[in-house]
Amino acid sequence: MNTEALGFSPQQQQAYQILVQGNYAKAASLFEQLIESEPEVWLNYWYLGLLMLLQEQEVEAQTTWLLALSESEPEQVEQRSTELATVLQAEAKRQEQLEDHSLAWTIRQHLREVRPEDVENLLKILQLSVKLERFDNETLVGSEIIDLLRFQQVELDLSLLYQTITDILNYAPLEPSILEFLEVCSPPAPYAQGFIDTLIPPAVKLAYSEGQPELAARLMELCLRLDPQHLEVLKQLSAFYQSAHQFEKGIEAARTCYTLSKTLPDQIYASYLILRGLMLAGGRWEKALSTFQQQENLLRSLLQANLTSLEQIEARRLDGTLFFQPYFRDDLIQNRLMQNQVMQLVQANIERYAASHVEQFRQRFAKPFTPSKSKRLKIGYLSHCFRTHSVGWLARWLLKHHDREQFEIHAYFIGYKSQGFDPLQEWYVKQVEHAHKLPAESFTIAQQIHQDEIDILIDLDSITLDTTCEIMALKPAPVQATWLGWDASGLPAIDYFIADPYVLPDSAEAHYSEKIWRLPQTYIAVDGFEIGIPSLRRDQLGIADDAIVYLSAQRGHKRHPETVRLQMQIIKAVPNSYFLIKGLSDAEAIQKLFVQIAEEEGVDQSRLRFLPEAPSELVHRANLAIADVVLDTYPYNGATTTLETLWLGIPLVTRIGEQFAARNSYTMMVNAQITEGIAWTDEEYVEWGVRLGDDPALRQQIHWKLWRSRQTAPLWDAKQFTRQMEQAYEQMWQNYIEE
């Protein structure tokens, strides 16, 4: 503190130094002596009251200040209040530097009484409330800062404002008055970029970690008011709308973004967002197909340009742009070729960016890999799906059965959900030896993985998350593999893709940049599924007990119209049959697609039933039992839904292709010791569907085979599967240390 500015006398300077040393009682005594000798020096009263406050004598402090102010002439009150405010402000800052947040908060509350319209002080109070974990809606409303900013012209310290917004959104983003607060905080257009930069990171976290895409979209709408042509805002807004199932708004924002885009990377990503909206909505196949073809053409142009100077955000956004490729066609060679080429470009640009922008990566990593033959292998699992998610439900068995004497298990939670309670997420936290809850910042996570000296890093996300791709591209572990979450990413930094003898054909080896590591039986196994109480009954759906019920439960983007056509041919051929359709999508668009194809195939739409989403995974699984036969999707099969169907003993018809996505159900059925329902052609798909509908004895036979397989099949033996995975890890490590 600049004591000279306050005109301290030598005696006051001495007393203040004793205050700084923490001897509040002695300092108070000195200021009392100064008041006795110089009662007209008001600064002594301010410090005496402050020292009482520091000794938790709040009433005495207030009395001292009020007494001094009451003895002032009216024209002196303002000046002396300002002097008192200066003293309190300085001490609050000092306590903040000492990290005594509670005391700083108390001092600032008294400062607020002296200067109720001091916006800087109110923002500091809000920041301290967050640090003290006291912040809530009442704190925000009670501060009266919203009304102050709305009705008075106030000059704001923008850096302080933006830090306060960041703190609040990271701590309690769901409080109802926060949007109102942000609205009154919106700066004039010339200062828009700082406000936008402040809101984007917490909005991303809200949308993807906390499951609040609608609220995230509201934040981006505030930004869009300031800059209607801001590309980054439009990109985020489009994705948030789509995740909130506001598909039309999401598609429109993406189209605006595409129109405004000037570079190939921006055009590619905007095209991907249009495609994402169309696919997630479902039922808009012609528009989606033309958009997909346009996107591939743009990607080919980018690959031909061979750009090696993309910005980090441009590079990381390319990794997921081919996500929908296997939903359109079952072409392993063509799909993998482009996927590998794109990811090679992504990795080259990420490495270049890291080397030039991030200090700890300029020399790769400061500490080199040092393989050891004697220690427990350190296995790191990296994912944003260690929560209530399909991958989360399936991966848990491997982590549950790991041999902790041979393996040290680390889990790296990308976008750990801090708001609300997710029981599966908390299960993972307790299950592993080291649960790393890190911000979704790729360089930070990669550095942590390297510091933890992870031997083998397992990626469960593939291209479904750009952060994961960026981490894997940085090669923070000596051995890296992809498992479970999607097909292989194609990143050159990944050594292995974990598969099995069935989920990829032998010919696939030549088309993957990763080495395919085939486990001996299955690439996934579970010990079973928890089942709830069903919420569906046939009589509620107007379906008789003796009717044949077919079911397909998949998201809208798996609804390839040619497969829907095959399904309608099955329904038409089986008398007294009904088709139940469910899955996240635009309900109206999906109904339109199915009804149109039904009419074209001569199936009355009265035989179709469109089901709402179940309230939970447990209820969803219980509701599957309403089906006599489940019809799988193609060219992108079910995975979790297939496992659930087989666990419940329900006959399944699947169409096998050549790509990973078209063979998931095949490997699961083989490893459940069942072959009935496996089709290699469209004709066989229809034949199996009709046969299973017409033959109740065959359905019963399959049901009992599946029921008995729970005791014998590799698919339901997660312990054996875990041992096989562990053997694979040991061999991968042996290969590495022998290189």
Mean pLDDT estimate for the chain: 93
Region 368-383: mean pLDDT is 82
CA distance 368 to 30: 60
The pLDDT score that the predictor gives to residue 362 is 53
Q: Could you tell me which residues come within 8 angstroms of residue 402 by beta carbon, excluding any fewer than 6 positions away?
A: 379, 409, 722, 726
Provide the 3-class DSSP secondary structure of residue 600. helix
The stretches of 227-331 forming alpha helices (DSSP H) are 231-243, 247-260, 264-281, 285-305, 312-318, 325-328
Between the alpha carbon of residue 147 and those of residues 162, 182, 183, 185, 195, the distances in Å are 18, 12, 11, 11, 20
Structure tokens belonging to residue 321: 């742009």
In terms of Cβ atoms closer than 10 Å to its own Cβ (0-12, 13-18, 19+), residue 38 is middle
Are the C-beta atoms of 732 and 517 separated by less than 8 Å? yes
Q: Where are the domains of the chain?
A: 10-210, 281-357, 361-518, 539-716
The closest alpha carbon to 621, from 601, 651, 644, 588, belongs to 644
More confidently predicted of 312 and 240: 240
The stretches of 98-118 forming alpha helices (DSSP H) are 101-114
Q: Could you tell me which residues come within 8 angstroms of residue 524 by beta carbon, excluding any fewer than 6 positions away?
A: 394, 484, 643, 668, 715, 721
CA distance 41 to 50: 15
Provide the 3-class DSSP secondary structure of residue 596. helix
Q: Which CATH architecture has domain 10-210?
A: Alpha Horseshoe (1.25)
Are the C-beta atoms of 345 and 322 separated by less than 8 Å? no
In terms of Cβ atoms closer than 10 Å to its own Cβ (0-12, 13-18, 19+), residue 736 is middle
In terms of Cβ atoms closer than 10 Å to its own Cβ (0-12, 13-18, 19+), residue 710 is middle
Are the C-beta atoms of 524 and 394 separated by less than 8 Å? yes
The CATH class for the domain spanning 361-518 reads alpha beta
CA distance 331 to 339: 12
Q: How sure is the predictor about 371, in pLDDT bands with cuts at 50, 70 and 90?
A: low
Q: At what angle do helices 119-131 and 74-97 cross, to 10 degrees?
A: 30
The pLDDT score that the predictor gives to residue 6 is 60
The pLDDT score that the predictor gives to residue 417 is 85
pLDDT digits (tens, 9 = 90+) for 93-104: 999 999 999 999
The pLDDT score that the predictor gives to residue 368 is 67
String of DSSP letters for 127-149: HHHHHTT---HHHHHHTTHHHHH
Q: Omega before 213 cis (within 30°)?
A: no
- One fold for 10-210 and 361-518: no
In terms of Cβ atoms closer than 10 Å to its own Cβ (0-12, 13-18, 19+), residue 170 is middle
Between the alpha carbon of residue 82 and those of residues 114, 115, 663, the distances in Å are 8, 8, 75
pLDDT at 483 exceeding the cut of 90: yes
pLDDT digits (tens, 9 = 90+) for 6-26: 668 889 999 999 999 999 999
Beta strands in 336-463 (DSSP E): 377-383, 407-414, 434-438, 456-459
The pLDDT score that the predictor gives to residue 94 is 95
Q: How sure is the predictor about 360, in pLDDT bands with cuts at 50, 70 and 90?
A: low
Q: Could you tell me which residues come within 8 angstroms of residue 144 by beta carbon, excluding any fewer than 6 positions away?
A: 116, 122
Region 347-369: mean pLDDT is 73
Q: How sure is the predictor about 245, in pLDDT bands with cuts at 50, 70 and 90?
A: very high
The pLDDT score that the predictor gives to residue 195 is 96
The closest alpha carbon to 161, from 206, 194, 203, belongs to 194
CATH code reported for the domain at 539-716: 3.40.50.2000
The pLDDT score that the predictor gives to residue 5 is 53
pLDDT at 488 exceeding the cut of 70: yes
Structure tokens belonging to residue 27: 């300092």
Point out the least confidently predicted range of 298-307, 590-599, 721-730. Answer: 298-307
Are the C-beta atoms of 325 and 335 separated by less than 8 Å? yes
The pLDDT score that the predictor gives to residue 209 is 87
Q: Residue 119's CB: how many other CB atoms inside 10 A?
A: 19
Are the C-beta atoms of 179 and 202 separated by less than 8 Å? no
Number of H helices, E strands in the chain: 32, 13
Structure tokens belonging to residue 13: 């300077």
String of DSSP letters for 169-182: HHH-TT-TTHHHHH
Structure tokens belonging to residue 509: 């080896």
In terms of Cβ atoms closer than 10 Å to its own Cβ (0-12, 13-18, 19+), residue 596 is middle
Structure tokens belonging to residue 488: 């292989």
pLDDT at 3 exceeding the cut of 70: no
pLDDT at 2 exceeding the cut of 60: no
pLDDT digits (tens, 9 = 90+) for 137-185: 999 999 999 999 998 888 888 999 999 999 999 999 999 999 999 999 9
Structure tokens belonging to residue 551: 């079911």
pLDDT at 357 exceeding the cut of 80: no
CA distance 271 to 238: 11
The closest alpha carbon to 319, from 333, 338, 304, 334, belongs to 338
Q: Would residue 462 be called left, alpha or beta, if left means φ above 0 and alpha means ψ between -120 and 50 degrees?
A: left
Region 461-485: mean pLDDT is 96
The pLDDT score that the predictor gives to residue 374 is 58
Are the C-beta atoms of 197 and 231 separated by less than 8 Å? no
Residue 317 backbone dihedrals phi, psi, to 5 degrees: -80, -15
Are the C-beta atoms of 93 and 108 separated by less than 8 Å? no
pTM of full prediction above 0.85 = yes
pLDDT at 421 exceeding the cut of 60: yes
pLDDT digits (tens, 9 = 90+) for 689-718: 999 999 999 999 999 999 999 999 999 999
Share of the chain above pLDDT 90, in %: 85
